[in-house]
Structure 1
Amino acid sequence: MKSRILVIGDIHGALKALKQVLERANVTENDTLIFLGDYVDGWSDAANTIRFLIELKSSHNCIFIRGNHDELFLDYLQKDSYNPQWLLHGGQTTIDSYIPIPKREINLHIHFFETLENYYLDTNNRLFTHAGFTNENGVKNEAFTKSFYWDRTLWEMVLAMDKNLPKDSLYYPKRLKNYNEIYIGHTVLARIEEDTPQQRANVWNIDTSAALKGPLTIMDVDTKQFWQSDPAYTLYPNEKGRN
């Protein structure tokens, strides 16, 4: 089978959805898997999700991007301190999932979180990052690295853009011109009442709201074919996720 580059949206502890969509996409060891971050904070399989991803990397070519929820949880693991608001946005479920995990394994998970990438740029000048960036000259010039996993202005900007604005216009956003395509998660598509990957300008949002009522999505970046799990909440019927 031909190798593919597959991008995966925000998982938020929904390991059942992840396994389901990997199977539906018929993922093989020939494929490159680019995960857009937010592996935890939502459903009860947070610890098992990280365990699964660590094992997956041993057999598949995986690129793991850092999400804001991943940074929040790493801060908790390293400093044993946290913003109380984080607990209300999935943090408590993640903490609870780690109760039975032995310290030695938790250390392996800490290493996983520490080695996440802020962004990935492929040979076709396609950018993959969790949230966005703000520097008009591109990610290598970004002064505020937290933008990679906290920014929402990139997606908000392309949502508000005039679809007919030509690229040579003085008003065309300069930061978009740096890359052929940009792939992000972070801002759930439920906000615009969508549950499939959405493109605005050259930005693709893959966060189909698996943390809430939506499915988890994998997309082939070359063909734009995508596969989805069942809505994650149906796989965890006795849980609230981030709803």
Structure 2
Amino acid sequence: MRIFAIGDVHGCSTALRRLDSELRFRSSDKVIMLGDYVDRGPDSKGVVDYLLELQLRCQLVSLRGNHEIMMLRAREDRTALTEWLGCGGDATLDSYHCQTSADIPDSHWQFLTSTVAYHETETDFFVHANAYPDYDLADQPDYMLFWEFFGDPSPHHSGRRMICGHTSQKSGVPKDVGHAVCIDTHAFGGGWLTCLETRTGLYWQANQQGQIRANQLR
């Protein structure tokens, strides 16, 4: 089994499709999406459409990011709607060619509500944003899992490596501190969408121009 983690997509469907065309995800692969599928970039609808298709042909694990949280809240609360629109939700509505969240397909809302807070493998754990080193994942507060920036994290007491997104690495290079790796590489802002093969440390990056490159964690 190959195990991949993919960083914050933020509506960059072209980059996501390019990674898939390069790596050809298949039924034996586990693909862990680190959240923030929507907002800011040009094609949030296309990203969710593609993930719905992808989950039929690989073992897809879709984590929840803070932008999914904002979008879900905006569906129910007008104040939250204003906040979401100011954080990139306007681009999401544009991608659906609609004025309100009521026009977003039910299947997309079902996907968003099905996203999970974290995922664990034998050697790694996966969260959107961060985790307290002394807390089990089930006991982490939402603020850490979805909102806290990467900073200088301490090793987790489980001994597992943390793989996360959320904190944009504008250099385009994943931030690897050994016991933790951040793979949000600013896809929506002219950077790259990163896909890390967790067992080998190899990673592939695609951008919205359809370019692809590969490297290895150091």
TM-score, structure 2 as length reference:
0.87
- Displacement of 1:213 in angstroms is 1.8
Unaligned runs of 5+ in 2: 211-218
**How many percent identity over aligned positions?**
26
Instruction: Give the equivalent residue in structure 2 for 1:186.
Output: 166
The reply on whether 1:74 has 2:69 as its aligned counterpart is: no
SS in 1 for 2:85: helix
CA distance in 1, matches of 2:111, 2:94: 19
Instruction: Figure out how many residues of one structure are paired with residues of the other and give that number.
Output: 209
The aligned runs of 1:22-33 (5 Å cut-off) are: 22-33=20-31
1:135–1:141 contact (8 Å) kept in structure 2: no
Mark the CA change 1:206 to 1:95 in structure 2 (over 3 Å): closer, same or farther.
same
2:132–2:156 contact (8 Å) kept in structure 1: no
Match of 1:146 among 129, 143, 146: 143
1:75–1:81 contact (8 Å) kept in structure 2: no
> Letter of the aligned partner of 2:27 in structure 1?
E
Match of 1:227 among 204, 208, 217: 204
Instruction: Give the equivalent residue in structure 2 for 1:213.
Output: 190
Instruction: Show CA shifts across 1:82-126 (max 9, x none).
Output: 25343233110001222359968621111111111100011x141
Runs of 4+ in 1 over 6 A off after TM superposition: 101-105
- Displacement of 1:215 in angstroms is 0.9
2:34–2:65 contact (8 Å) kept in structure 1: yes
CA distance in 1, matches of 2:124, 2:137: 12
CA distance in 2, matches of 1:146, 1:102: 25
SS in 1 for 2:188: coil
CA distance in 2, matches of 1:57, 1:81: 33
Instruction: Give the equivalent residue in structure 2 for 1:156.
Output: 151
Match of 1:132 among 130, 133, 136: 130
Mark the CA change 1:59 to 1:25 in structure 2 (over 3 Å): closer, same or farther.
closer
- Displacement of 1:141 in angstroms is 2.1
Match of 2:33 among 35, 40, 48: 35
The aligned runs of 1:7-26 (5 Å cut-off) are: 7-26=5-24
Instruction: Show CA shifts across 1:117-157 (max 9, x none).
Output: 100011x1411000012362321222x223211111xx212
Instruction: Give the equivalent residue in structure 2 for 1:64.
Output: 62
> Letter of the aligned partner of 1:180 in structure 2?
R
Select the structure that is richer in strand.
Answer: 2
CA distance in 2, matches of 1:102, 1:207: 27
2:96–2:104 contact (8 Å) kept in structure 1: no
> Letter of the aligned partner of 1:71 in structure 2?
I
The aligned runs of 1:157-176 (5 Å cut-off) are: 157-158=152-153, 173=154, 176=156
1:25–1:218 contact (8 Å) kept in structure 2: no
